[in-house]
Structure 1
Amino acid sequence: MAVKRVLLVCTGNTCRSPMAEALLTVKETGLEVKSAGMQALAGSSAAPPARIVVREHGATLDEHHAERLTRSLLEWADLVWTMTQAQALQIKQQYPEHENKITTLASAGGFHEDITDPVGGDLDAYRRTAGQINQMLERIEWGREL
C-alpha cells in the first residue's frame, strides 16, 4: 500500500502533533498530513512557542486550529503516528479496526522513545521537541512501504 495520508496524534493538538504535521509537510510534499489530539479542545490555536519554532524550520502554524481525534480521521489516514506509546495503545483499544495502521512516530523512525511534551516549557523546550521530531522524520525511509 502506498502511503498518501498521515495523521499525527498527541494529547491536545496544540504542540507536538501540529509541529510534527508542519515539519513533515515541509519535508514530504507528496503526502497529505493532518494532526489531531485525543483530548483536544476543538478550535484552539497552536501554542505560541510551537508557532515560533516551526517558523524557524520554514513552516507555519498560524492557521492551525486544534481538532479532536475522531473515527473519520482514522478512516481518512493510511498511517497514524502518535507521540507516545500510551497514546498508540489507547487508540488501538478504542478503535481496534484501525490497529494495523497505528504506531508511534518514534517507531516509524527506528526509535523507541516517546516525544517529549513541551507544554508549559520555555522556547528551548519546544526547540528540543522539534529537534526530536525532525530526527525521527529524517530516519523514515520514505521510498519503502511504510
Structure 2
Amino acid sequence: MNLLFVCTGNTCRSPMAEGLMRKLVEREGLKVEVQSAGVAAYAGTPASVHTSTILRARGIESQHASQPVTSELVSWADLILTMTMSHKQVVAGQFPEAQGKLYTLKEYIGGLGDMDIMDPFGGSLDVYRRTETELDAALEKLKDKIDKM
C-alpha cells in the first residue's frame, strides 16, 4: 500500500505523520510505503525545527524536504489522508482522480471528534507535542485498520 499524508506546507503535520507512520510500519512489519506533501508547499523546504526535534526524540531520522501535491503523487497513492477538511477539499478540487481514496485522517479511521488535526505552525515545542499526541492516537487506529486489510 502507498500512503500519502497531506497538510498545507509539508513542513509540520504531514512530515510528522509520515515519520511516525514509517516507524509504526517498520515496527509492525506492514508493507506500506509512506510519503507526504502539501497543498501549498514549496519544493525543498526542510521540516520545521520542532517537527524535526520531535521525530529525533522518537529515534526517527528525517532528511525531509517538502513537496507539493502532484498528479504523480496522487497516482502513486493508494490512500491519501489529509490533516484537515480544507486540505481534502483542495486536493479533491485539483485532482478529481483522487476520489475514492481521499479522506481526512480522522475521517478514515472513524473519527476522533473534530475532523482536523491541530496545526502547530508557529507554536512552541509544547504545541507541537500536542499535535504529536493527536497524531499518535490517530496513527495507531490507522495501523490497526491497515493491519486488518
Aligned to 1:55: 56
- Post-superposition shift, 1:68? 0.8
Give 1:23-102 correspondences, 5 Å limit. Answer: 23-29=20-26, 30-61=31-62, 63-102=63-102
Aligned to 2:117: 115
Alignment match of 1:7 (pick from 4, 7, 10): 4
Gaps of 5+ in 1: none
Gaps of 5+ in 2: none
Give me the whole-angstrom Cα distance separating, in 2, the residues matched to 1:110 and 1:136. 10
Q: Deviations over 1:68-105 (max 9, x none)?
A: 11000000000000000111122112211221100011
- Post-superposition shift, 1:37? 0.6
Which is worse superposed, 86-95 or 43-52?
86-95
What is the DSSP-based 3-state SS (H/G/I as helix, E as strand, rest coil) of the residue aligned with 2:100? helix
- Post-superposition shift, 1:130? 0.9
- Post-superposition shift, 1:42? 0.8
TM-score, normalized by length of structure 2? 0.90
* Percent identical residues: 40
CA contact (8 A) 2:39 2:90 kept: no
Question: How many residue pairs are counted as aligned between the two chains?
Answer: 141
TM-score, normalized by length of structure 1? 0.92
